[in-house]
Amino acid sequence: MAWDSNRPVPWNRLIREWLIYAAIMSAVFVIFFRGDNVVGAIAGVLVSGPLYLGFGAIMAKFGYQRTRLKGARRGSDATPEPATSSTAASGPDTSRPKPAPTSRTAGGGSRPKSSNRKKR
């Protein structure tokens, strides 16, 4: 998609996501790097905020919308595409016939007999 300055930037969502990330990563750094330089690690997390917000704003202006977890659970996109062609309207099951069974798909023939049988 092309750049569109009229597209809205979801600032609240971006800030909320980054705050959750910053809280989790700061807790992880405090837990695992107790004796080491925790201040530097947390400073790095804080510096990532403006970078994340800037990159997210640029991507939003290009039209990127990340799928929400709520939509992923339902199995549907956040923005469904309209069905314009007859094949899209009929569904994926009717687009082509089922292939014929082969020897690899349990529908074709019997298995050859094993050659390592014991003879009596």
What digits encode the pLDDT tens for the residues 26-56?
A: 999 999 887 778 888 899 999 999 999 999 9
Confidence of residue 11 (pLDDT cuts 50, 70, 90): very high
Judge whether 35 lies within some domain. yes
pLDDT of residue 74: 79
Judge whether 18 lies within some domain. yes
Judge whether 19 lies within some domain. yes
Judge whether 22 lies within some domain. yes
Domain that holds residue 22: 14-65
Q: Which residues of 67-103 are buried (b: 16+ CB within 10 A; e: fewer)?
A: eeeeeeeeeeeeeeeeeeeeeeeeeeeeeeeeeeeee
Judge whether 55 lies within some domain. yes
Q: Which residue has the higher pLDDT, 92 or 46?
A: 46
pLDDT of residue 114: 65
Judge whether 113 lies within some domain. no
Contact 21, 44 (CB under 8 A): no
Number of separate domains in the chain: 1
Judge whether 86 lies within some domain. no
Confidence of residue 120 (pLDDT cuts 50, 70, 90): low
pLDDT of residue 4: 84
pLDDT of residue 26: 93
Judge whether 28 lies within some domain. yes
